[in-house]
Amino acid sequence: MARAAAEGARDVAAWAAREQARQDDGAAAASALHVDLMPAADVQAGDLLHSDGYLFCAPENLGSLSGAMKECFDRCYYGVLDADGVSPVSGRPYGLMVSAGTDGSGAARQMERICTGWRLRLSAPALIARNGAQTPAAILAPKTVAPDVLRDCRELGGLLAGLLLMGG
């Protein structure tokens, strides 16, 4: 899901660079947007502080945010606030993607609350990819993300990239 979203963002950035070059009579145009796909385990508060927008992707387990994304928020939350508890990332756009069995709304709400604390601006409704797994065997089995879900992920990545290219 995250890779598909990054592809969508990079596609929009490349299109914008081509359009800029076309308008500038073929002059080389560098994309005004740099897309980083980082595993949550590698993200530090400084990475968040130096980014203009965010697309958080996480699994839901037992109705809550779980895994490396939860650990990332736990590790980085206070490091993104200044000494007075003010968020220097206030107003920056973000999006959410959740991989879930049959619900996903609990993890989405949890991430929205965290992002509200940072005063981020939600750019689109959370994308919740439900795989329908309900039995222990189905929950623990490897999953394949459906093509329509990957398309939605690319679209969300492209939307966020477009917003950033337009200034926010």
Cα 86 from Cα 29, distance rounded (Å) = 36
Q: What residue spans define the domains of the chain?
A: 1-18+35-166
Domain spanning 1-18+35-166: which superfamily? Flavodoxin domain (3.40.50.360)
pLDDT at 50: 96
pTM value is: 0.91
CB 51 within 8 A of CB 93: no
Q: Are strands 54-61 and 127-130 parallel, antiparallel or unpaired?
A: unpaired
Q: For the chain, 168 residues long, give each residue's pLDDT as a single digit of tens.
A: 999 999 999 999 999 888 888 887 655 555 578 999 999 999 999 999 999 999 999 999 999 998 899 999 999 999 999 888 889 999 999 999 999 999 999 999 999 999 999 999 999 999 999 999 999 999 999 999 999 999 999 999 999 999 999 987
Q: CA 51 → CA 54, 92, 97, 102, 144, distances in Å?
A: 7, 9, 18, 32, 30
Dihedral through CA 29, CA 34, CA 35, CA 36, nearest 10?
A: 140
pLDDT at 20: 83
pLDDT at 7: 98
pLDDT at 29: 52
Q: Are strands 64-65 and 93-100 parallel, antiparallel or unpaired?
A: unpaired
